[in-house]
Amino acid sequence: MALAPKVNEDTDPKRRYMEEVDDAESLIRPKTDATNEALDAYAKELAFLNEKVEVMILPAADPNDQAKLVDVTVNGVPYYFLRGEWRTVPRFVLEVLATAKHQAWSFGYKNALSGATVQTNDSSHILRFPHQFRDANPLGYKWYDSIKDRVH
C-alpha cells in the first residue's frame, strides 16, 4: 500500500474567522436596533430591582413562631431582619418577601343537604413574612401590586 502525501491546512478557527471579518468594529456593534432596545429594557429592570427600599417584617401572628431574627437569603447572600424594625435592602429582597407564601390547610366535616357528612379540604396561601415597606420610587407601589399575588 502506497502512502499519499498529506497537506497540512491551517484549521485554527480564530484565525479563519478574523480573515472573514473585514470590519473589526462589526464584532462589537449590535446587528439591529431591536437588540439595543431589549438590552436597554433589561438594564432598566435590573436597575429598578437594585434600588433601595425600606422594609419592616411584622411580628408573627403564629404563636409557635417566636423568632425575633428573620434571615432571608437571595442568591447566597443573607439579609437579616429584626421583627418590628426598618431595614434598607434592594428591591429584589422585597420581591422575595412578597412572594414567599405559606400554604395552610384546614380539614373538616359538614352536613350536606342529603343528610350525609362530607369531608372538606380548604387551602389558603398567606404571607410567610408579613411586612410593610416604604418606597421613594412612585412606580414601586404599582410593581408591588403586580407581584404580590404570585405564589411560588
Please give the radius of gyration of the chain, using alpha carbons only, rounded to the nearest integer: 29
- Domain spans in the chain, listed from the N-terminal domain onward: 32-100+129-147
* Cell digits of residue 130: 408579613
Does this model's pTM top 0.85?
no
- Strand 131-134 relative to strand 117-127: parallel, antiparallel, unpaired? unpaired
3-state secondary structure of 23: coil
- Helices 139-147, 91-99: axis angle to 10 degrees equals 30
The pLDDT score that the predictor gives to residue 152 is 58
* Segment-wise mean pLDDT, segments of 10 residues, the chain, 152 residues: 62 56 55 71 92 92 81 93 95 92 75 81 78 92 87 60
The pLDDT score that the predictor gives to residue 48 is 93
3-state secondary structure of 46: helix
